[in-house]
Structure 1
Amino acid sequence: MIFRRKGKNEDPETDAGTAADEAPVDVRAEGPFDSSEVGADVLEAEERIDLGALVITGMPGMELGLQVDEQSGVVQAVLLMLEDSALELRAFAAPKTSGIWDEVRQEIAAEASRMGGTATETEGTFGTELVLVVPVEDPQGQIFSQTSRVIGVDGPRWLLRGTVLGRAAVEPDAAAPMEETLRNVVVVRGDEPMIARESLPLQMPPGAQPNVPEEA
């Protein structure tokens, strides 16, 4: 289920050819959303899973995993798995005045190069994203190249980062469910002051166990 965010001054009678046609494309027009942009009925819908800073909607057959720090018990990321593809979600605080995806993207690209891999910028449905190809060592000690897509979406005082892994990183058909899932995310930033790039707090849903995938 995808919800469309209404513009504050949306006017259905705006004439074509006006300056509005030249405005930058709003990549968040159909999600992901800020909690202030949706109603309580959306946040509390039965198919949605409340993870604190992120409220998500799973696809049929999708499993939910949580990456938890063993020492602190803090949930660091959300992992949504479907067949041989996955979507990792992380959310960060950002300044009121500007987004941080441009800066973060450059840092991710530099880290990929440091690891001996490559980072290529490309334009996707969420704006500028990165395609990373980095060397990875498997449990047997063999080195292989892993491809991933890193998508960043700037919202009001937050950055949502989605990393597409597996077959969805290289095949558009497999990527479609992951992109739809990302569009359905609602970010609950909260009003408390936070340092830019600080992780927004995530929590386990009721009855979940750390590192045990649950049906999403």
Structure 2
Amino acid sequence: MFGRKKKEKEEVASAPEQAETTETKEEKEAAAVQTPGEFDRSNGPWDIDEIDVDENYIDFGSMRIRMIDGLNMRLDVEQKSQQMVAVTLTKGNNSLQVQAFAAPKSTGIWDDIRAEIADSVRKQGGTVEIRDAGLGREMISKLPAKTKDGRKGFRVARFVGVDGPRWFLRGVYSGDAALRPADAAEMEEIFRSIVVVRGEDPRPPRDLLPMTVPASIREAQEANKQAEEKKTLDMPERGPEIAEVR
């Protein structure tokens, strides 16, 4: 159910020999403009003051994430600081990485962040598609890559973002949820069920809200550590050796 990993695996899909590398005028305009507050959060994601969480939710500090049958969670850790920076949720062939950030009180930041990501993808020779979907305005990026058998392909990621009260929640889909968005309804529901805990500390916009390892996971890790130590202590020591003397 749980795991720790330093770097997320990337999905590579095969592509035709002549892949489209430029975006349309409409896509450029959509990437640069978003009407503030156009996404209705009446069905989530939620602020901690808007909904009561129950025992099915796991506490990650700045986020509460609801567990459902078959859902696996991986804690993404930054290698240098060893700090938890994201949670990746996986079910079947669908993956969703989620992070929560601080945001200004009066304006959202998703339109600016989306435009910056799109610009970065284009500079790397990739393409972007901006569209309106179930979670508001989203972006699908494709970066040139090679498949395992050496064919030309592209790495696909689907970015979604929701502006809340002084926070911003970002999700990055991979696997089937990125390649076939229409089949990702279950992952979208998981994203909507997330509860963000902004806290009262002053933070600059885009600052990653602090994440903590849940107590249940810490207890499991400690139990595993103690079991390993006990196994080492229980190993019989090597006794004296007897050599035959002739």
TM-score surpassing 0.5?
yes
TM-score w.r.t. the length of structure 1 is 0.78
Partner of 2:196: 187
Question: Matched residues in 1 for 2:151 and 2:216: separation?
Answer: 38
Report matched runs for 1:64-213 at 5 Å.
64-136=73-145, 144-172=153-181, 174-208=183-217
Q: CA deviation at 1:72?
A: 1.5
Unmatched tracts of structure 1, length 5 or more: 1-23
Q: Write the letter of the residue equivalent to 1:83.
A: G
Q: CA deviation at 1:208?
A: 2.5
Q: Secondary structure at the match of 1:201?
A: coil
Q: Describe the shift of the 1:205–1:155 C-alpha distance in structure 2 as closer, same or farther (beyond 3 A).
A: same
Partner of 2:47: 34
- Tell whether the 8 Å contact from 1:86 to 1:168 is kept in structure 2 after alignment: yes
Indicate the structure with greater helix content: 2
How many aligned positions are there? Answer: 183
- Tell whether the 8 Å contact from 2:46 to 2:193 is kept in structure 1 after alignment: yes
Partner of 2:25: none
Q: CA deviation at 1:139?
A: 8.1
Question: Matched residues in 2 for 1:97 and 1:67: separation?
Answer: 30
Q: CA deviation at 1:172?
A: 4.1
Q: Describe the shift of the 1:25–1:97 C-alpha distance in structure 2 as closer, same or farther (beyond 3 A).
A: closer
- Tell whether the 8 Å contact from 2:63 to 2:194 is kept in structure 1 after alignment: yes
TM-score w.r.t. the length of structure 2 is 0.69
The structure with more radius of gyration: 2
The C-alpha deviation readout for 1:106-152, integer Å capped at 9, x for no partner, is 00100111111111110011111101111246788876312221001
Q: CA deviation at 1:83?
A: 1.2
The C-alpha deviation readout for 1:11-37, integer Å capped at 9, x for no partner, is xxxxxxxxxxxxx75521100001111
Q: Describe the shift of the 1:62–1:141 C-alpha distance in structure 2 as closer, same or farther (beyond 3 A).
A: same
Identity value in percent = 38
Question: Matched residues in 2 for 1:32 and 1:138: separation?
Answer: 35
Q: Describe the shift of the 1:78–1:140 C-alpha distance in structure 2 as closer, same or farther (beyond 3 A).
A: farther
The C-alpha deviation readout for 1:24-54, integer Å capped at 9, x for no partner, is 755211000011111xxx32x1111110001
**Superposed CA RMSD:** 2.1
Unmatched tracts of structure 2, length 5 or more: 1-36, 222-246
Q: CA deviation at 1:170?
A: 2.4
Q: Write the letter of the residue equivalent to 2:50.
A: E
- Tell whether the 8 Å contact from 1:119 to 1:131 is kept in structure 2 after alignment: yes
Partner of 1:54: 63
Question: Matched residues in 1 for 2:77 and 2:151: separation?
Answer: 27
The C-alpha deviation readout for 1:85-121, integer Å capped at 9, x for no partner, is 1000011100111000010010010011111111111
